[in-house]
Amino acid sequence: MLDVHQLHDAFAARFGAPPQLVVRAPGRVNLIGEHTDYNEGFVLPIAIDRATFIAARARLDRTVRVYSVQFSADDAFSLDQIERNPHQPWSNYVRGVAKGILARDLPLAGADLLIDSEVPPGAGLSSSAALEVAVAYALQLLNRLDLLGEELALLAQGAEQSFVGMQCGIMDQFMAALGRAGHALLLDCRDLSYRPIPVSPQARVVVCDSGVRHSLVGSEYNERRAACEEAVRLLRARLPRIAALRDVAPAQLEANADLLPLVILRRARHVVTEIERTLAAAAALEHGDLPRFGALMDASHASLRDDYQVSTPELDTLVEIARSLPGCYGSRLTGGGFGGSTVSLVAEGSVERFAADLVAGYHKRLGREAHVLICTPSEGARLVATF
- Contacts with ligand GLA, residue ranges (CB under 6 A): 30, 34-35, 37-38, 126, 168-169, 171-172, 335-336
Of residues 19 and 336, the one with the C-beta less far from ligand GLA: 336
Tell me if residue 172 is catalytic: yes
Cβ 353 to ligand GLA shortest distance, Å: 30
Q: What letter does residue 199 receive in the DSSP assignment?
A: P
Of residues 68 and 278, the one with the C-beta less far from ligand GLA: 278
Cβ 132 to ligand GLA shortest distance, Å: 11
**Closest C-alpha among 353, 345, 349 to residue 328:** 345
Of residues 19 and 41, the one with the C-beta less far from ligand GLA: 41
Please answer whether residues 328 and 297 qualify as being in contact, where contact means their C-beta atoms are separated by less than 8 angstroms. no
290-306 vs 313-324: helix crossing angle, rounded to 10: 160
Please state, in angstroms and rounded to a whole number, the distance separating the CA atoms of residues 108 and 86: 24
Non-local CB neighbours of 277 within 8 Å, separated by 6+ positions: 32, 33, 296, 299, 300, 303
Please state, in angstroms and rounded to a whole number, the distance separating the CA atoms of residues 135 and 129: 10
Cβ 189 to ligand GLA shortest distance, Å: 9
Q: Exactly one of 116, 172, 209, 307 is catalytic; which is it? A: 172
Non-local CB neighbours of 350 within 8 Å, separated by 6+ positions: 325, 326, 327, 328
290-306 vs 262-286: helix crossing angle, rounded to 10: 170
Cβ 124 to ligand GLA shortest distance, Å: 7
**Closest C-alpha among 333, 382, 313, 305 to residue 29:** 333
Non-local CB neighbours of 154 within 8 Å, separated by 6+ positions: 170, 173
Of residues 54 and 171, the one with the C-beta less far from ligand GLA: 171
Of residues 39 and 256, the one with the C-beta less far from ligand GLA: 39
Cβ 212 to ligand GLA shortest distance, Å: 16
Q: Which residues are catalytic?
A: 172
